[in-house]
Each structure stands twice: as C-alpha cells, then as structure tokens.
C-alpha cells in the first residue's frame, strides 16, 4: 500500500503508514491505565506481541471497512497516537470513529485537529458516508469535549451497552451527520 501523509500543524501530521518499527511507540504510550480504562479493545499491559497482533489484524482488514491513521511528530516521525474509522459492510453509510493520544500530548487541542482531518479524508474516500458515530464511556468527559469541538451532537445514553472488566458500562453516543 502506498503511504499518504496529511499535515495537521507545526507539531504533528497523520499518515496511513504503520510498520513493526512503530511497535515500541505503541508499547511506550499504550502502557497507560487511563487509555486502557477509556477504550474497549486496547490491552493492558500492552506488549510487543499485542502490537504485532494489531498490525496483522489491520493488514487483514479491507480499506473499504477500516481506515487507520497514525499521529506522528514532525520533529522525528515518532508515533504518538492514532485515529481510525471502522464501518460495517452491512451499512457503508455509517462509520464509528476511535482515537487515542499518548498522555504527554494531552490538553493541547491536538486530537480535535486530527479528527477533523480524518473526517475530511473519510468523506473524500467513502463517498456514500453520511454518519460518523463516537461511543464514549460515561466518565470520559475529555473525549466528549473533543467530539463536541468537532461538531458531533450528543444523541443519548446507551445504558449498559458495553461489558468490560465485570462492569456493564453506560455509553454516551455522539454522531456527526455529513451534509
Ligand atoms: C480523549 C483524548 C483523545 C483527548 O485528546 P486531547 O488532544 O488531549 O484533547 P483536547 O486537548 O482537545 O482536550 C480535551 C478537552 O476536554 C477537556 N477536559 C479534559 N478533562 C476533562 C474533564 N475531566 N472534564 C471535563 N472536560 C475535560 C479539556 O478541557 C479540553 O476541552 P477545552 O479545549 O474546551 O478546554 C486523550 O485524552 C486520550 O487519548 N485519552 C485516552 C484515550 C481515550 O479516551 N480515547 C477516546 C475513547 S472514546
């Protein structure tokens, strides 16, 4: 696959490039209990093996269903986060968005800029897309704020939608409708 690079600002860019050389960055940033607590599928502790499995999984996914972008520093190309879209083959008009950023880079307004760019790419490449959903655990106020800053609308609380670590978790459902 050819790699594409999209500029975000003076500090970061995003790209669809992801190789095994990025696994140390996954291990460095995803060994974080807050990221684990706020997401559904990221393991904790996060091992090199988890990184290898994830890269294999992504390679097995079709570009028609999954787009995954790594967030990298302009200064040295280090991977510091990720943002992806996943849509069901049964309804290509709808996609879910997921994202994480390494903790040293939080609270600087980076993720809203990344999400806006990923949505622009998704819109261009998946012409029939009309709805982007974000499903956020009820305690994750920072993530809610991020999607609000990107124009998403709160649609309601999906009670006990997710089961994780023996807990049934209420999820706040947000969506952006593409006009
Ligand atoms: C959520 C996450 C992506 C935010 O990225 P970021 O680049 O730090 O986002 P921002 O810099 O725009 O800051 C987040 C906003 O939330 C606000 N915020 C942070 N903690 C908050 C809290 N406890 N309560 C209310 N608002 C909060 C910040 O003030 C900011 O809003 P503002 O710009 O209006 O002041 C990042 O914290 C992260 O990766 N978290 C762990 C993984 C995760 O939660 N992923 C999403 C799963 S749905």
162 CA → ligand 1 middle, Å: 21
User: Does residue 123 belong to any structural domain of this protein?
Assistant: yes
User: Whose CA is closest to 152, among 136, 133, 124, 179?
Assistant: 133
User: Does residue 133 belong to any structural domain of this protein?
Assistant: no
User: Does residue 137 belong to any structural domain of this protein?
Assistant: no
125 CA → ligand 1 middle, Å: 27
Which letter, b or e, does each residue of 11-22 get, where b requires 16 or more Cβ atoms within 10 Å of its Cβ? ebbbebbbeeeb
Q: How many domains does the chain have?
A: 1
The two three-digit tokens of residue 145, written as one number: 């704020």
Give me the domain span that covers residue 72.
5-128
User: Does residue 41 belong to any structural domain of this protein?
Assistant: yes
User: Does residue 177 belong to any structural domain of this protein?
Assistant: no
- Each residue's pLDDT, cut to its tens digit, for the chain (179 residues) gives 678 999 999 999 999 999 999 999 999 999 999 999 999 999 999 999 999 999 999 999 998 899 999 999 999 999 999 999 999 888 999 999 999 999 999 999 999 999 999 999 999 999 999 999 999 999 999 999 999 999 999 999 999 999 999 999 999 999 999 98
Pick from 107, 109, 112, 118 the residue to mutate for probing ligand 1's pocket: most ligand atoms within 8 Å of its CB: 107
**CATH number for the domain harbouring residue 21:** 3.40.630.30
User: Does residue 31 belong to any structural domain of this protein?
Assistant: yes
User: Does residue 160 belong to any structural domain of this protein?
Assistant: no
User: Does residue 165 belong to any structural domain of this protein?
Assistant: no
pLDDT at 89: 82
Strand order in the sheet with 79-88: 5-7, 12-15, 66-73, 79-88, 91-101, 131-137, 167-177, 153-164
* H helix intervals, the chain: 23-30, 33-38, 48-60, 110-125, 141-149
């Amino acid at each position: 696959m050819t790699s594409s690079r999209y500029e975000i600002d003076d500090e970061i860019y995003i790209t669809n490039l992801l190789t095994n050389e990025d696994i140390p960055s996954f291990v460095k940033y995803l060994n974080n209990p807050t990221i684990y607590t706020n997401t559904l599928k990221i393991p904790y502790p996060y091992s090199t093996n988890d990184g290898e499995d994830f890269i294999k999984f992504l390679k097995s996914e079709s570009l028609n269903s999954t787009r995954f972008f790594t967030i990298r520093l302009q200064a040295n190309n280090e991977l510091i986060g990720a943002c992806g879209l996943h849509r069901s083959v049964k309804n290509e008009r709808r996609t879910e968005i997921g994202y994480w950023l390494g903790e040293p880079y939080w609270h600087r307004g980076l993720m809203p800029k990344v999400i806006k760019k990923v949505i622009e790419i998704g819109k261009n490449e998946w012409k029939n897309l009309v709805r982007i959903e974000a499903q956020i655990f009820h305690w994750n106020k920072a993530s809610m704020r991020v999607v609000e800053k990107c124009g998403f609308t709160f649609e309601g609380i999906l009670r006990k939608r997710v089961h994780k670590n023996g807990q049934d978790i209420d999820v706040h459902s947000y969506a952006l409708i593409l006009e």
